[in-house]
Structure 1
Amino acid sequence: MTAPAIWAVIPAAGRGTRFGGDVPKQYLEAAGQPLIAHALDALLGHPAVAGAVVALAAGDERWPGWTQRHGKPVLRCVGGGERADSVLAALQALPADIAADALVLVHDAARPNLRRDDLDRLIDAACTSADGAILAAPVRDTLKRADGDGRITATEPREALWRALTPQAFRRDALVEALRQARADGAVVTDEAMAMERTGARPRLVEGREDNLKVTTPADLALAEFLLARRESSLLP
């Protein structure tokens, strides 16, 4: 029996206001391509991933019009004002023949340095976990709690704390239901795992590389450029 196809979803309707400038951060270039191109290539370059749906802002004129990459389909839909709205719209835009229990990978459009070995381990973990799995990194820095004046009030224990990364992998219908329930409850969920947690699910944490960074500042973009250039140079004969 053939396993259900794995599809990827990329929410890309945001403006990236924290970065600044007129260009949404997913379209900023690093190593000669927009960040979203690197994100798509990392996903669609994996043999287990059959295609991707990208959720765009209404009237997005910067979208290059890709309909496929790596010989695999790239579909698009109109996203929403919040990340969860865009992910839900993309899930609803998946091809009609995608199974209810098919694994869906949700990945940030501005996270260009996803490595194949991380994706391998995430897919393996999610395939054996009914509650799905996410890439994450243990918190290694000392954490401080601040008051309203920016003064330290406490040092927080970091044991058992992780930073959520992407992709995050869940069964299609379970994630759809979790996102719909969060919307109905008026809850703002900042990632897909949070929506699943609200239903009682306990997604598995898969330790991922620290350099799978999300570009949110100009310094992040410079680091992403360096990392991608280094990867490309390592592939040269």
Structure 2
Amino acid sequence: MTALSRQIIAVVPAAGVGSRMQADKPKQYLRIYGKTILEHTVGALLSYPPVKRVILAVAENDPYLRRLPLARDSRIQIVSGGETRAESVLNGLKAIENPERIQVLVHDAARPCITHEDLDKLLRVTDENGAILALPAVDTIKTSDVRQQIIRTEDRNFIWLAQTPQFFRADVLLRALEQALAQGFNITDEASAMELAGFRPHLVTGRSDNIKVTRPEDLALAEFYLSQKNKIK
């Protein structure tokens, strides 16, 4: 299946509460330049021509999404999220008809600064191993024990920091997630499930400004990066 013939859907897990953000609402609903983080994120995906649809997995009693124009956009499908990110992604994948014909871009709701250039790089990967955006480690990496004392220093030449989107064939990822969850594994990203299923996803070097808004100080940084992105436009 060539890049031009693939149908591409984005799946955005957005059911988390973002407790580390210390805010009065989930972090994806905090505002930057008059829009929620979620609107910036989904807008970046929908403005990328290969993406025809975005599946949003949100908490069942989410009171925020229905107030946004997103909820009335015909290109967006809303499904119930799960207790974990992996369950939310799985629910999104289950909503896809004929998943064997679909490629999915799974992207964090709180990464609003994704660029189309990075998406282009992901879509160049065409084999079943799939690919993820990631950053080569530049800092010295330490491994600790439970008392937060250093056990060893890792070789950073082989350490990458995973980002999103993560890009896989929908049916392959669906099976991998089902198997990993059934076996009780803690799945923190889609590549983890693919690795457990025997695949070796490609690492595609992303940008350092593709940050995940997690802590209060990240909000100002995302605002700065979005302002620079808008200047380029």
Q: Give the alignment's TM-score, normalised by structure 2.
A: 0.93
Give the secondary-structure state (helix, strand or coil) at the position aligned to 1:18: helix
The alpha-carbon distance between structure 1 residues 62 and 220, as it changes in their structure 2 partners (threshold 3 A), is same
What secondary structure is seen at the aligned counterpart in 2 of 1:111?
coil
| RMSD of Structure 2 on Structure 1 (CA) | 1.6
After the TM superposition, which of the residue ranges 169-178 and 154-163 deviates more from structure 2? 154-163
Residue 109 of structure 1 is matched in structure 2 by 109
The structure carrying a bigger helix percent of its residues is 2
* Counterpart contact for 2:58–2:81, Cα < 8 Å: yes
1:128-150 CA-partner distances (Å, limit 9, x unpaired):
22111111110110012233443
Q: Which of 178, 194, 197 does residue 196 from structure 1 map onto?
A: 194
Matches of 1:135 and 1:174 in 2, distance apart? 19
Query: For residues 169 and 109 of structure 1, what CA distance do their matches in structure 2 show?
Result: 15
Percent of pairs with identical residues: 46
User: What is the correspondence of 1:97-176 to structure 2 with a 5 Å cutoff?
Assistant: 98-125=98-125, 128-176=126-174
Q: Distance in 2 between matches of 1:46 and 1:216?
A: 25
Residue-pair matches, total:
229
Which position in structure 1 is the counterpart of 2:31? 29
CA distance in 1 between counterparts of 2:194 and 2:99 reads 19
Q: Conserved in 1, the CA contact under 8 Å of 2:39 and 2:70? A: no
**Structure 1 residue 66: deviation in Å?**
2.1
Q: Distance in 2 between matches of 1:73 and 1:44?
A: 8
Letter in 2 for 1:66: L
Letter in 2 for 1:109: A
Q: Distance in 2 between matches of 1:185 and 1:4?
A: 31
| Superposed CA offset, 1:132-179 (max 9, x none) | 111111011001223344333322211111111000010011011001
Q: Deviations over 1:12-66 (max 9, x none)?
A: 0010111112210111112221111111111111111111100000110100252
Aligned partner of 2:93 in structure 1 is: 91
- How far apart are residue 187 of structure 1 and its match? 0.9
Contact 1:44 1:51 in 2 (8 A): yes
Q: 1:99 to 1:149 in 2, by over 3 A?
A: closer
Does 1:177 find its partner at 2:179? no
State the distance in 2 between where 1:148 and 1:85 align.
28
Q: 2:70 maps to what in 1?
A: 66
Q: For 1:49 and 1:29, how far apart are their aligned partners in 2?
A: 24
1:57–1:80 contact (8 Å) kept in structure 2? yes
Q: CA deviation at 1:234?
A: 3.0
Query: In the alignment, which residue of structure 2 is the partner of 1:79?
Result: 81
What does residue 221 of structure 2 align with? 223
CA 1:148 to 1:67, structure 2 compared with 1: closer, same or farther past 3 Å?
closer
Stretches of structure 1 that go unaligned for 5 or more consecutive residues are: none
Partner of 1:9: 11
Question: Which is further off, 147-156 or 225-234?
Answer: 147-156
Structure 2: stretches of 5+ with no match in the other structure: none
2:110 and 2:152 mapped to 1: Cα distance? Answer: 33
Cα distance between partner residues in 1 of 2:164 and 2:77: 20
Q: Partner of 1:52 in structure 2?
A: 54
Q: Name 2:42's counterpart in structure 1.
A: 40
